[in-house]
């Protein structure tokens, strides 16, 4: 089995998962752990800011009670989701997400 250097990042706003610059960084997404807001929303991963959508997840309504976060985990099978330029995520109705990538 080949070794893979999987990294993780915590995102709290819409942007690139590999940093704030726009440099080309091919990326594979292996999983996401996120906290829902008090409204329903979505997580959208794209190949760059305006490229093809590689994953869109509709997120359910989170907990309206303070201190009772509603958390979810998404595991991507196989070789992950590939973004040839740079992985960009849009958070809508999601407080924060931890993304596992290479």
Three-state SS sequence of the chain: CCCCCCEEEEECCCEECCCCCCCCCCEEEEEEEEEECCCCEEEEEEECCCCCEEEEEEECCCCCCCCCCEEEEEECCCCCEEECCCEEEEEECEEEEEEEEC
Query: Residue 63: what pLDDT?
Result: 64
Confidence at residue 43, expressed as pLDDT on a 0 to 100 scale: 94
Note the pLDDT of residue 67.
56
Q: In the CATH hierarchy, which fold is given to the domain comprising 7-101?
A: Jelly Rolls (2.60.120)
Contact between 90 and 46 (Cβ < 8 Å): yes
Q: Which pLDDT tens digits describe the chain residue by residue (102 residues)? A: 566 789 999 999 999 998 776 678 899 999 999 988 778 889 999 999 889 999 999 988 776 665 566 788 999 999 999 999 999 999 998 889 999 999
């Amino acid at each position: 089995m080949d070794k893979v250097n999987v990294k993780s990042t915590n995102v709290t706003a819409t942007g690139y998962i590999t940093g704030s610059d726009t440099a080309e960084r091919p990326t594979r997404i292996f999983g996401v752990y996120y906290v829902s807001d008090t409204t329903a929303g979505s997580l959208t991963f794209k190949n760059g800011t305006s490229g093809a959508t590689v994953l869109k997840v509709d997120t359910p309504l989170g907990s309206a009670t303070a201190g009772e976060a509603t958390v979810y985990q998404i595991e991507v099978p196989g070789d992950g989701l590939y973004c040839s330029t740079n992985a960009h995520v849009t958070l809508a109705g999601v407080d924060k997400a931890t993304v596992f990538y290479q």
